[in-house]
Amino acid sequence: MIGTVAQVLEIARRSVVRTLRQPAQIIPNVTFPLLLLAINSNGLRAATHLPGFPTNSFLDFFIPVAFIQGALFASGTAGVDLARDIDNGFLNRLALTPLRRVALLLGQLGGAVALGTIQAIVYLGVGILAGVRFESGVAGAVLLFVLAVLLSLGFGTLGILLALKTGSGEAVQSAFPLLFFLLFLSSMNLPRNLISIDWFRDLATANPVSYMIEAMRSLVITGWDTQALALGFLFTILMIVLGLVGSARLLKTRMART
Amino acid sequence: MRDQHGIQADELVREYKGGIKAVDGIDLRIQPGEIYGFLGPNGAGKSTTVHMLTTLLPPTSGTARVAGFDIVKQGPQVRAAIGAALQEAALDPFLTGREHLRLQASLHGLPREERRRRSDELLERVGLTRAADRKIKGYSGGMKRRLDLALALVHEPSTLFLDEPTTGLDPQSRSALWSEVAGLAKGDGVTVFLTTQYLEEADVLADRVGIIHRGHIVAEGTPEELKAQIGRPTVEAVPADESQREAIADLLQKFGNPTDGDPLSVAVRCEQEADLADIIRALDAAGLHVAQIQMHEPTLDDVFLAKTGTSLEGAAEDEEATEEEEQEELEKVGA
């Protein structure tokens, strides 16, 4: 019998291979956040003139949103792939092998992480070429990259959770806009202290996605802001842990082998 | 790997929410190396039985042993001993055939060299060597089924479960798969539990057949034994003149009871020893003309009809709703 790590690697290899063999899935996922970045960094540039706006470059301010959007897309990939496996019986095939549930969960996230990594490399490269400068230097850029990959993993677990709950690729895709809604109700377009509508500011403050964006943003426009980074990583890791625990529980029902 | 234990089940029950009993107290005694055909329409309980015996679905009550292991208490040992090709070949359209085999072999713990050797051997065996490096989305239905069989065999199981393995296949692919399955049982001593809704498949392939209807096994034996239980042949006549259909039906009923046959024909199951010549003479004497007349020995469908009161085809329609409920429940538990 092979070890859990080897099982994770086998399932992850399959997940990565099938993700990379679907360019029609990768290209829009990578390019859509870039388009939004291009449009908003120009269209909303005037926001930088607001008193108290933390930078004079809206591109610097907005680039973290591309990483979050990319991670959200990656979550859809992970969820839809697993839902298809449930739907077409592939999960049963795996259940008939000595595969451990935890190995299936972690391995299944391989595709989301691979996609998230590709996206993070592209957004970092494009951002730097377009003039984004990291106040935290090269180490900050590396940390942002790490956080972006972790976010892909975290949102990927949510995709997996949805797939296990519903067992339907269509249901996962339908739930996807709800995750996007979280992004729109965050500090993605303005710093929280400049949001003048009270209820919106309160929602953005209660929304963990705001802290994920702000952690990345701090690395670009502030430097090393320990509090922002701690909150960003905390919520990201919390999302990963909760996603995995919830998925593990649901998988017990989905893989109800004796 | 040669099986030493076969399959035994005692009072196996699976009840779903709402009190629906998809499987209602079945007993099985399947000998090592035997091909057991589990025959029944959609929704009769075939797949639920397979899911229980392969450990994917816990039984509500009853016990079963597969390859010598208890399906509830020794799930991992059962899974290590069995191979299964479940309904609808579950394959990843973006992987190649070889990649599927590699994944399956790795998860079963085969060493790297053994994985390669076994994959090549199985690809050769199921005739997929040339297509091995093509993605599954380019495979035909028959190729998918053959790969499915190869995947079930990768760890050399002693017991094989095939859930409707030839559904949707063309006759040539079906025949090729039959030969392969027969070879596994006769040559390698593998015990095969085969579910099917095709009478011909059960007749040709199975050493013994169990007929399941609404969760109960209603008949069991070799195909010959089952047909011998019916004993009486069927006569089918196609009227030469449609206006004489009723008169022909009336006359044939003197020789037996009406039964299902070709839609163009009038069919009766003979009540007593009948001679085709007697029937032809009676038709001739009554001035009735037939375009075709034939007498044939009982089939498994006749057995099914006798045991359940409906033909296999008719039962399939009746039980479609049951199948949907069964499938929904299976999906809920992830099986």
For residue B335, the model assigns a pLDDT of 46
Q: Which residues contact B55 (CB under 8 A, 6 or more apart)?
A: A96, A257, A258, B71, B75, B78, B79
* DSSP-assigned letter for residue B135: B
pLDDT number for residue B274: 66
pLDDT of residue B328: 56
Is B86 within 8 Å of A22 when comparing Cβ atoms? no
Distance of CA A185 to the CA centre of its chain: 16
Query: For residue B99, which residues of chain A lie inside 8 Å, CB to CB?
Result: 14, 17
Weakest-pLDDT range from B24-38, B109-123, B272-286: B272-286
- B188 and B86 in a common domain: yes
Contact check, Cβ <8 Å, A93/B108: no
Q: In this model, does residue A225 exceed pLDDT 90?
A: yes
**A113 pLDDT more than 80:** yes
pLDDT, position B331: 54
- Top pLDDT among A206 and B267 is at A206
Q: Give contacts of B92 with chain A, Cβ < 8 Å.
A: 14, 18, 85, 90
Q: Is the pLDDT of residue B273 over 70?
A: no
Q: Give the one of B90, B94, B108 whose C-beta lies nearest to A88's C-beta.
A: B90
Is the pLDDT confidence value at B279 over 80?
Answer: yes
Averaged pLDDT for residues B243-251: 89
Residue A92 sits at the chain B interface (C-beta within 8 Å): yes
- B187 domain-assigned: yes
Q: Do A258 and B90 touch (CB under 8 A)?
A: no
pTM of the model: 0.80
- Phi first, then psi, for residue B238 (nearest 5°) are -100, 115
The total of structural domains in chain B comes to 2
Q: Give the Cα separation of B84 and B152 in Å (integer).
A: 5
Please state, in angstroms and rounded to a whole number, the distance separating the CA atoms of residues A130 and B280: 94
B51 and B146 share one domain: yes
- Is residue B147 domain-shared with residue B293, that is, in the same domain? no
C-alpha A41/C-alpha B18 separation (Å) is: 57
Give the closest of A13, A18, A86 to B334, CB-based: A86
| Burial label, A206 (beta-carbon count in 10 A; 0-12, 13-18, 19+) | exposed
Q: What is the pLDDT of residues A11-49, one digit of tens each?
A: 999 988 988 898 888 888 889 999 999 999 888 888 989
Same domain, residue pair B153 and B267: no
Q: Which domain holds residue B280?
A: 232-297
The CATH number linked to B164 is 3.40.50.300
Query: What pLDDT is attached to residue B158?
Result: 92
Does residue B35 surpass a pLDDT of 60? Answer: yes
Q: Is residue B134 part of a domain?
A: no
pLDDT of residue B11: 94
Please check whether residue B264 lies inside any domain of the structure.
yes
pLDDT tens for B289-312 read 999 888 877 777 777 777 777 766
* Contact with chain B for residue A129, Cβ under 8 A: no
The pLDDT tens digits of the residues spanning A41-87 come to 888 888 989 998 999 899 999 999 999 999 988 888 888 889 989 98
pLDDT at B37 over 90: yes
User: Hey, are the CB atoms on B75 and A256 less than 8 Å from each other?
Assistant: no
B83, B179: one domain: yes
Is B107's Cβ below 8 Å from some Cβ in A?
yes
Is pLDDT of B324 > 80? no
Q: Which residues of A touch B88 (CB under 8 A)?
A: 88-89
User: What does B147-199 look like in DSSP terms, one character per residue?
Assistant: HHHHHHHTT--SEEEEESTTTT--HHHHHHHHHHHHHHHHHH--EEEEEES-H
Question: Distances from the Cα of B253 to the Cαs of B233, B265, B270, in angstroms?
Answer: 14, 14, 9
% of chain B beyond a pLDDT of 70: 90
The pLDDT assigned to A255 comes to 82
Q: Is residue B211 part of a domain?
A: yes
Q: What is the pLDDT of residue B321?
A: 44
> For position A68, what pLDDT does the model report?
93
Which of A194-198, A229-233, B153-157, B296-300 holds the top average pLDDT? Answer: A229-233
A107 touches chain B (CB under 8 A): no
Q: Which residues of B touch A13 (CB under 8 A)?
A: 103
Q: What is the pLDDT of residues A124-152, one digit of tens each?
A: 999 999 999 999 999 999 999 999 999 99
Same domain, B76 and B164: yes
Instruction: Kindly report the CATH number assigned to the domain that includes residue B257.
Output: 3.30.70.260
All residues of chain A having their beta carbon less than 8 Å from the beta carbon of residue B58 are 256, 258
- The model's confidence at residue B73, banded by pLDDT at 50, 70 and 90, is very high
CB count in 10 Å sphere of residue B219: 19
Does B45 lie in the same domain as B181? yes
Is B123 within a domain? Answer: no
Query: Confidence band (pLDDT; 50, 70, 90) for B118?
Result: very high
pLDDT, residue A192, reads: 93
Q: Is the pLDDT of residue A231 over 90?
A: yes
Same domain, B274 and B190: no
**Residues B61 and B219 sit within 8 Å (Cβ to Cβ):** no
Q: Is residue B220 part of a domain?
A: yes
pLDDT more than 90, % of chain B? 39
Q: Check residue B131 and give its pLDDT.
A: 94
Q: Tell whether B240 and B163 lie within a shared domain.
A: no
B122 found inside a domain: no
pLDDT tens track for B171-196: 888 888 888 889 888 888 899 999 98
* d(CA A4, nearest CA chain B) in Å: 10
Residue B316 has pLDDT above 70, yes or no: no
Widest CA span in chain A: 64
Residue B203 inside a domain? The answer is: yes
Once rounded to an integer, what is the mean pLDDT over residues B68-89? 90
Q: Which residues pair with B269 in a beta bridge?
A: B234, B257
Residues B214 and B174 in one domain: yes
Q: Does the pLDDT of residue B319 top 60, yes or no?
A: no
- Chain A residues near residue B82 by CB distance under 8 angstroms: 96
CB-closest option in B58, B84, B107 to A10? B107
Q: How far away is chain A from the Cα of B82, in angstroms, using its nearest Cα?
A: 9
pLDDT in tens, B133-171: 999 999 988 889 889 989 999 999 999 999 888 877 788
